[in-house]
């Protein structure tokens, strides 16, 4: 399969161009299969011959697992993990972000449980035009604690109902895990046993049946990497028709996590080693000391930058001061480095400007836009923000590339008929490109060009000194 081209794959497809797979033609679908960007299962009319020839070889090197999106998921908290094809981000891009979850123990105090649930429900971080949030809650139950199986089941139902999100159900009691899985059947959650140095895989067949019947994914753990490989190989060899697996890699230190995560990804992508071609999950242990948050941050950073699928924090880490920088890092790592994030080129209103309000100018690189617009708003002034097409480049980069010049800005103003829309004839350009002011005035007779501050953080003081 690895050597087959898109044209060769197309010959095995039904050639109906039905578009039900999401592609416009069977050839387009075949091209995606050849580059391992989609799975053969997306084709509803694939023949048995095609399934036999293409089959598992058409899967991405790291299997895609869908979580959430069940019938009761009214807010559509649906996530995908895995589906990766790269080892290094700069080679192309990473696809599905590391998911964040906060853990609750079934024997925690009721007040603490409610506090975590409310934190997950309400936490939002607005960053570069995107709203970031915590994707999941993990619920852990140990048979040796005072919490009963019934408490575990009722908590699972309560958390799922209140958050509308898929859960991670984790227990060392198979019957408790089964009952909880049935209680939230169809939520497409995750089932996990509690890994110990003596963890065995004797119950995997039964767990697979439980996960499959109740539409959940399953975490595979083991005492070492070899035992995990043995387990996934047996599952594949037994043709159990279940492949929604997530690996919990056994590590005892940060360096070991870094190493094993790297080995696993390289084996899956470079060596096409299917037994390790699954997304991963990491449970961060609560150390309960003054360095806990710092240790959690280090562990999470390792997961974000080194291929982690899901990172589960202890309840004590339900803290915006910890999560905000980690979410920002995650957003940066999982942004396509070959495709700058852009906003639409147009005139934006900040506040409630009248037709004579000043007009600030910046590029359509999203981070630049949101920083500038935010600082204008913080200054207390109502104004317009003119954003010409700069192909998602920052101010200096766009200027150096000839995308942010006096002539190009003037051309954009004329194209959108800004002079007919507004009475204002005052433009405020970034201080870093003060040299374009003369060219801009030459191309816009009757306009006044002011040179603003170089840094967005200085806009407020500039407004107070020059515009008020």
Specify if 204 maps to a domain.
yes
User: What range does the domain containing 267 cover?
Assistant: 65-333
Q: Which CATH number goes with the domain that contains 145?
A: 3.20.20.20
Q: Are residues 104 and 170 in the same domain?
A: yes
Q: Are residues 147 and 180 in the same domain?
A: yes
Specify if 410 maps to a domain.
yes
Q: Are residues 108 and 124 in the same domain?
A: yes
Determine the pLDDT at residue 286.
Answer: 61
Specify if 339 maps to a domain.
no
Task: Among 289, 309, 333, identify where a domain stops.
Answer: 333
Determine the pLDDT at residue 198.
Answer: 43
CA 120 to chain centre: 16
**For the residues of 256-319, what is the DSSP string, one character each?**
HHHHHHHHHHHHHHTS--GGG-S-BEEEPPP--STTHHHHHHHHHHHHHHTT-SEEEE-GGG--
Q: Are residues 218 and 251 in the same domain?
A: yes
Determine the pLDDT at residue 289.
Answer: 46
Specify if 402 maps to a domain.
yes
Specify if 350 maps to a domain.
yes
Sign of CA dihedral 143, 146, 150, 152: negative
Determine the pLDDT at residue 117.
Answer: 96
Q: Which CATH number goes with the domain that contains 379?
A: 3.40.50.11600
Q: Are residues 120 and 36 in the same domain?
A: no
Determine the pLDDT at residue 293.
Answer: 67
Sign of CA dihedral 154, 156, 160, 163: positive
Q: Are residues 131 and 173 in the same domain?
A: yes
Q: Are residues 308 and 417 in the same domain?
A: no
Coil/strand/helix, residue 421: helix
Q: Structurally, how many domains does the chain consist of? A: 3
Residue 251 CB contacts under 8 Å (≥ 6 apart), including other chains:
257, 260
CA 253 to chain centre: 25
d(CA 189, CA 185): 8
Specify if 338 maps to a domain.
no
d(CA 454, CA 264): 45
Q: Are residues 148 and 253 in the same domain?
A: yes
Q: Are residues 128 and 147 in the same domain?
A: yes
d(CA 462, CA 358): 13
Residue-wise pLDDT tens for the chain (468 aa)? 445 777 888 888 888 899 888 888 988 888 888 777 777 778 888 887 777 777 655 667 899 899 997 654 456 689 999 989 889 887 778 989 999 999 999 999 999 999 999 999 999 998 777 889 999 999 999 888 877 999 999 999 999 999 999 999 999 899 999 999 999 999 999 999 986 544 454 557 788 889 999 999 999 998 889 999 999 988 877 766 788 999 999 888 888 999 999 999 999 999 889 899 999 999 998 654 445 568 889 999 999 999 999 999 999 889 999 999 999 999 989 988 777 788 889 999 999 999 999 999 999 998 899 999 999 999 999 999 999 999 889 999 999 999 999 999 999 999 999 999 999 999 999 999 999 999 999 999 999 999 999 999 999 999 999 987
Q: Are residues 53 and 175 in the same domain?
A: no
Q: Are residues 353 and 220 in the same domain?
A: no
User: pTM of the entire structure?
Assistant: 0.77
CA 16 to chain centre: 34
Determine the pLDDT at residue 57.
Answer: 58
d(CA 140, CA 109): 14
Q: In what order do the strands lie in the sheet with 346-350?
A: 346-350, 383-387, 359-361, 426-429, 448-451
Q: Are residues 78 and 46 in the same domain?
A: no
């Amino acid at each position: 399969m690895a050597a087959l081209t898109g044209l060769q794959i197309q010959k095995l497809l039904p050639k109906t161009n039905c578009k039900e797979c999401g592609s416009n033609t069977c050839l387009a679908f075949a091209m995606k299969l050849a580059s391992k960007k989609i799975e053969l299962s997306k084709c509803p009319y694939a023949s048995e011959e095609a399934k036999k020839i293409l089959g598992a070889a058409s899967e991405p090197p790291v299997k895609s697992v869908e979580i959430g999106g069940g019938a009761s998921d009214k807010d559509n908290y649906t996530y995908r993990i895995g589906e990766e094809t790269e080892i290094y981000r700069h080679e192309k891009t990473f696809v599905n972000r590391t998911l964040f979850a906060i853990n609750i123990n079934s024997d925690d105090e009721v007040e603490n449980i409610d506090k975590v649930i409310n934190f997950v429900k309400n936490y939002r971080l607005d960053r570069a035009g995107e709203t970031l949030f915590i994707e999941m809650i993990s619920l852990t139950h140990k048979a040796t604690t005072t919490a009963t199986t019934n408490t575990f089941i009722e908590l699972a139902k309560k958390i799922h109902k209140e958050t509308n999100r898929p859960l991670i159900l984790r227990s060392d009691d198979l019957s408790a895990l089964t009952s909880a899985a049935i209680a939230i059947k169809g939520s497409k959650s995750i089932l996990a046993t509690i890994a110990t140095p003596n963890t065995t895989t004797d119950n995997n067949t039964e767990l697979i049946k439980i996960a499959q019947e109740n539409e959940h994914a399953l975490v595979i753990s083991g005492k070492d990497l070899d035992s995990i490989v043995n387990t996934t190989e047996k599952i594949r060899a037994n043709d159990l028709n279940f492949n929604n697996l997530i690996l919990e890699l056994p590590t005892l230190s940060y360096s070991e996590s870094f190493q094993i995560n790297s080995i696993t990804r390289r084996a899956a992508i470079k060596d096409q080693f299917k037994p390790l071609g699954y997304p991963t999950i990491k449970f961060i242990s609560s150390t309960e000391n003054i360095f806990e948050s710092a240790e959690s941050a280090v562990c999470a950073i390792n997961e974000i930058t080194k291929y982690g699928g899901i990172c589960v924090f202890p309840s004590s880490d339900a803290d915006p001061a910890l999560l905000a920088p980690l979410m920002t890092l995650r957003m940066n790592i999982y942004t396509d480095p070959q495709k700058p994030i852009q906003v639409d080129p147009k005139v934006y209103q900040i506040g409630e400007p009248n037709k004579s309000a000043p007009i600030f100018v910046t590029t359509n690189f999203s981070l630049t836009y949101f920083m500038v617009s935010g600082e204008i708003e913080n200054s207390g002034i109502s104004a317009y923000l003119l954003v010409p097409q700069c192909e998602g480049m920052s101010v200096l980069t766009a200027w150096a590339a000839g995308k942010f010049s006096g002539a190009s800005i003037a051309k954009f103003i004329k194209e959108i008929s800004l002079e007919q829309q507004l009475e204002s004839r005052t433009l405020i350009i970034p201080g870093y490109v003060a040299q374009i002011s003369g060219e801009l005035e030459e191309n816009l007779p009757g306009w006044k060009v002011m040179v603003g501050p170089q840094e967005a953080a200085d806009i407020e003081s500039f407004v107070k000194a020059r515009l008020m």
